[in-house]
Amino acid sequence: MKAFKTFFLICCSAGLIGCGGSDFSDLQAFMDEVRSRPKGAIEPLPKVPAYEAFTYSAASLRSPFQPPVKVDTVSRTKGDPEIRPDETRVKQFLEGFNIEVFEMVGSLSNESGFFALVSGAGGVHRIRVGDYLGRNHGRVVAVGEAKIDVVEIVPDGDQGWLERPRSLTLKERS
């Protein structure tokens, strides 16, 4: 074991003596040659276009996720001259919203009558027969335990008005 330690020390000493030369002239010459080369040019950053604000202006149009309404111009029904929305009537709160935002969530009854509960327009609202719902002059004509029937008055496109029935059915909770 002592012979191994001695041999190891001799090898390490010989290695260190071999590295002890102080002639770095070839390394210095290489470094001088690299420093004397012309410096490279860095390309400038690409121009970034200025941000332009975008305002979405199609909010009032039909949602692209709803099927389009098919209008058959040949067999389109003409409006009845007797059908007209009552423009003198005071509008109710729920008439300020599209009927698509409402969904029936329940019904209840008490001594003053039978009511349907609809969710939408910021909360749950109680409606009954005779109330108005939606932007198309929708009048509630029937309230059941699982369905609300509404008749809307919509323009026919020829300066007349049509009655269009709609229904809101009870939303099933899972």
Non-local CB neighbours of 74 within 8 Å, separated by 6+ positions: none
**Which structure tokens are listed for 154?**
């919509």
Q: What is the CATH number of domain 93-169?
A: 2.30.30.830
pLDDT band at 73 (very low <50, low <70, confident <90, very high): low
Q: Given a cut of 80, is residue 86 above it in pLDDT?
A: yes
- Per-residue pLDDT tens digits for 129-146: 999 998 888 999 999 888
Amino acid identity at 1: M
- Per-residue pLDDT tens digits for 87-125: 888 888 888 888 888 999 988 988 888 899 998 888 899
Closest by alpha carbon to 162, among 67, 81, 62?
Answer: 81
Q: Given a cut of 60, is residue 59 above it in pLDDT?
A: yes
Give me the helices (H) in the chain, please: 2-18, 25-36
Closest by alpha carbon to 96, among 59, 60, 132, 139?
Answer: 132
Angle ∠(114,137,124) on CA atoms, nearest 5:
45
Please state, in angstroms and rounded to a whole number, the distance separating the CA atoms of residues 95 and 139. 10
Model-level pTM? 0.53
Q: Where are the domains of the chain?
A: 93-169
User: Residue 154 carries which DSSP code?
Assistant: E
